[in-house]
Amino acid sequence: MPDAAPGAITAELSALGQGSPDALARLAPLVYDHLHRLAAGQMRGERAAHTLQPTALVHEAFLRLQSGLPPDVRSRAQFYALAARIMRGILVDHARARATEKRGGGAALPLTKPGSLPAPNAPLDLEAFLDIHLALQTLDARDPHLARLVEMRFFAGMTAEDIALALDLSVHAIRHDLRLGQAWLKKELSKAPVK
């Protein structure tokens, strides 16, 4: 399956590019798996600089996936949006798994195989991360466009210029919307926890 993934993804991406409505649903698990393997390997290599470089990661994924695809701007944009959403999904699953682990559970770890290594005592504020996820869900319900921009900014590590290029919108407009989306998110995050 690992080797089959890029080809399948390419096919689904083409379908997506041609407007097939449920291509996204079929695409997600394929890309998910691919990106996950990529993340585990690639990010290890990037950690020397102590920075996460999701942009590089997604570019890399795109370069691999698009072989055989026409350099089509539209599918490219969708790919980035998709990649950001997938990255988010990966991290949410991971954070939930870690939270379960912390509470002494850990029966189902969707991202790690049984017998996997105990996590190092790296600082991870799971609550803070999951709060972001929940706030984004709320934003998605209220203004999906803003949620998508914030997702691309923070989960795919794209700059306003990257996003403008991918979505074929003006950088100016993206900057304004990003600022609003971020402000809204920060407003939600700085509220006292209601739990």
Partner 1 sequence: MTPDLRRHFNHLAPLPPEARAAELDSLALPPDLRLELEQLLAADSLTDGLIERPIRDAANSLATTTAPLQLGVWRTTGLLGQGGMGVVYKAERTDGTVEQTAAIKLLYRGLETQDLLARFQRERTILARLSHPNIARFLDAGATPEGLPWFAMEFVDGTALDRYCDAKNLSPEARVRLLIQVCAAVQHAHGHLVIHRDIKPDNILVTADGTPVLLDFGIAQILGETRPGAPVTRAMTPDYASPEQLRGDPATTSTDVYLLGAVLNRILGTLPLGDLTNIVRRAMHVDPARRYTTPTELAADLTAWLNGLPVAATPDSFFYRTHRFIARHRWPVAIAALAFLATAASALIAVNQARLAEKHFRDVRALANVFLFDFEAAIHNLEGATKARELVITTAKQYLDNLSAQDSRDPALQRELAEAWVKLARLQGGQTFASTVRRTDAIDSFYKSLRLRQALGDDRTSNPELRRTYILLTGNLITALVLAQRSAEAMPISNAAVESAEAFARDLPANRDAVRALYLAHHSRAVLCMELGNAACSIAAADRSLAVIRAWGEKHPGDRRIELDTASAELYVAQAGSAYGNYQAARDAARSMVARMERIAKLGPPTPESRRSAILAWQALGIALGAESPSLPAQPDEAADALRKALAINTSIRDKDRNNNLAQEDQMLINSLLGGVLCSSRPAEAIAVLEPLRTEILAWLEKNPDNFNVQKTLADVRNDLGRALRLTHRPELALKEHLESLALSDAILAGTPTDGISRKARVISLIRAAESESDLSRAPAALAHLDQSQQALAAMTKATPADASLSELTTEANKRREEIQKKLR
Residues in contact with partner 1 by CB under 8 A are: 39-41, 43-48, 50-52, 54, 87, 90-91, 94-95, 98, 111-113, 115-120, 122-126, 128-129, 131-132, 142-143, 146, 150, 154-155, 176-177, 179-180, 182-187, 189-190
The nearest distance, CB 19 to partner 1, in angstroms, is 27
| Cα distance between residue 73 and residue 60, in whole Å | 17
Burial of 81 (0-12, 13-18, 19+ CB in 10 A): buried
The nearest distance, CB 75 to partner 1, in angstroms, is 25
Number of H helices, E strands in the chain: 8, 0
The H or E element containing residue 163 is helix 160-167
Kindly tell me which of 13 and 135 has the beta carbon lying closer to partner 1. Answer: 135
- Looking at residue 56, its amino acid is A
The nearest distance, CB 114 to partner 1, in angstroms, is 10
Give the contacts of 161 (CB within 8 A, at least 6 positions apart).
171
Kindly tell me which of 15 and 124 has the beta carbon lying closer to partner 1. Answer: 124
The nearest distance, CB 157 to partner 1, in angstroms, is 9
Q: In 3-state terms, what secondary structure has residue 154?
A: helix
3-state helix, strand, coil in the chain (%, to 5): 70, 0, 30
Asked whether the beta carbons of 177 and 146 are under 8 A apart, the reply is yes
The nearest distance, CB 5 to partner 1, in angstroms, is 18
- Enter the DSSP assignment of 104: T
Kindly tell me which of 41 and 71 has the beta carbon lying closer to partner 1. Answer: 41
What's the token pair of residue 80?
């980035």
The nearest distance, CB 22 to partner 1, in angstroms, is 28
Kindly tell me which of 11 and 171 has the beta carbon lying closer to partner 1. Answer: 171
Kindly tell me which of 19 and 41 has the beta carbon lying closer to partner 1. Answer: 41
Half-sphere exposure at residue 138, Cβ-oriented, CA atoms within 13 angstroms: 13
Kindly tell me which of 3 and 125 has the beta carbon lying closer to partner 1. Answer: 125
